[in-house]
Structure 1
């Protein structure tokens, strides 16, 4: 039984949105303008996607922690 779900969230500077994917939830890909909005979407999408696959849904307990690992790269100028 899987004890948690890992979601990767990366900032897309071209589209100016956070993009989330997960190997633990096949088919999960979504985007939002803020991390908070992304989390709200994930709370709906993850159960829906897992319910589409009963075999996968049974790999998780009724309530499971979701870890959202975010990455936002920026630049800082060190010299003029």
Structure 2
């Protein structure tokens, strides 16, 4: 049975960090940059999928980032 895995980076403007939402058990991330977030997700996802679900081989993981910002309009 194939399962669709995802990792979502959500910007927390109050804390100034990217936080994770994911259906990969145990994958909890909080980073200052989106690049660092993606690197850590790529590093830890395979380990967690193997340890928690016994999955091996190539596994597609959908990656999303959600954030926003305010602009000052003159």
**TM-score past 0.5 threshold:** yes
The TM-score normalised by the length of structure 2 is 0.77
Contact 1:6/1:68 (<8 A) preserved: yes
1:69 pairs with 2:52: no
How many residues matched? 74
Provide closer, same or farther for how the CA distance between residues 62 and 4 of structure 1 changes in structure 2, counting only shifts above 3 A.
farther
Match of 1:57 among 51, 54, 57: 54
RMSD between aligned residues = 2.1
| Unpaired segments ≥5 residues, structure 2 | none
The TM-score normalised by the length of structure 1 is 0.72
Q: Higher Cα Rg: structure 1 or 2? A: 1
